[in-house]
Amino acid sequence: MLAYIRRHLGWKIFISYLIVILIAAIVLATAAEFVIPRSFNRHLAAMGLMMVDVMGSSMMRMDLNADLFSNFRTAVNEALTIAAFAAVISAIVVSIFVSRQVVTPVQEMMIASQYIAAGHYDERVQVPGDPSKDELDELSQLAVSFNQMATKLEQIESMRRRLIGDVSHELRTPLTAIKGSMEGLMDGILPQNDETYMGIYQEADRLQRLVNDLQELSRVEAGAYQLNLSTVHLIKVISPVVKRLELQFEEKGVTLEVDLSDNLPSIKADEDRIGQVLLNLVGNALQYTPGGGKVVVSATQYGKELIVSVSDTGIGISPEHVEDIFTRFYRVDKSRSRSGGGSGIGLTIAKYLVEAHGGKIWVESAGPDLGTIFSFSLPIADKI
């Protein structure tokens, strides 16, 4: 019986009401037992002489008082019994009403969670009240949070399925090219020259980059890496990135500018990891900025943080994509291949690395064809 009660919230609420009523009845009865006799005698004391005159003797008055008090106590006990019975009935009615209001939404969420656990991520629960108003109680807020969680899980599952298709396609494409080239070489269809070998090498390199990105993502999500924190100036981190990408900027006809103040404070960071973040953001800006455009790397101090920004005059981002831009494997343009648009792994890695430094990363865009600004914060090194 106790195990059954422990498993049902409605019974717990009902029993809690009964316990409150029982304690109240015990307190009331105890108080009545101690207070009623003295109160009864005090109120009858004023009538004592009158009763003696009427009845003729004090002994008769005492017998009458005892009989009157006995009847009075019986009446009080009957009243307490009726009140307790009415209270129990009220507790039953109230507990049924309250239990339905409390337990029903919880049961709906329990059933919905079982469906979600079975893989049905489109399951939702009804939110009591009007979600458009800021008057939701705790149960309604819990239902809203539950639906938000289910929506997020559905999105993650959708991205996981899309990832399988993307990775399968992008592994199959270079593998097919490599296999076709090798068959052409073996059959003598393709010439054994530098151009043929370079094509095979480029496809193999593409495979390697994809595998490395997946491996790196797995590591940063699991936290399986160490940060070698040191005091470093931002220009020391940016310079290798600029040097590595300047040839690609020149080939595409995009201008790369570094706008840093001379009095910027040093940061406390892992130079290689922050360099990896900047390389990803600057490379991403180059990829989505057409020829004749411009990419600017800048930094400003804000309190005890340094805000680093990479802005471009590229294709921009629609508002509906801004929130998901750092989600792993998310791509704004689903039609782009990895070589043309990336898989979103790099931005996810950048997010984890920045957060590991105690900073945060975000993106701003006024809309399509209006450019994009990626920014992230880093802690300033303590002055010695």
Average pLDDT rounded to a whole number, residues 239-246: 92
What per-residue confidence (pLDDT) applies to 355?
92
More confident call, 380 vs 332: 380
User: Would you place residue 140 in the very low, low, confident or very high pLDDT band (cuts 50, 70, 90)?
Assistant: confident
Give the residue from 121, 169, 109 showing the smallest Cα distance to 145: 109
- Number of helices (H), then strands (E), belonging to the chain: the values are 11, 7
CA distances from 192 to 136, 189, 200 (A): 73, 9, 11
Return the structure tokens found at 152: 């997020």
- Which amino acid does the sequence have at 32? A
Cα angle, residue 131 at apex, residues 126 and 137 outer, rounded to 5°: 85
Return mean pLDDT, the chain. Answer: 79
Which has the closest alpha carbon to 17: 97, 107, 77?
A: 97
Of 45 and 328, the structure prediction assigns the larger pLDDT to 328
Give 265's DSSP letter: P
Its pTM surpasses 0.85: no
Mean pLDDT of 264-274: 91
Which region among 60-69, 73-82, 162-171, 286-295 has the lowest average model confidence (pLDDT)?
A: 60-69
Residue 64 pLDDT:
55
- pLDDT interval class at 279 (50, 70, 90): very high
Predicted confidence at residue 339, as pLDDT, reads 47
287 backbone dihedrals φ, ψ, rounded to 5°: -65, -35
Provide the pLDDT confidence category of residue 174 given band limits of 50, 70 and 90: confident
- Residues 291-311: pLDDT tens digits? 999 999 999 998 889 999 999
Q: Is the dihedral of CA 245, 250, 255, 258 positive or negative?
A: positive
Q: Residue 335 pLDDT more than 80? A: no
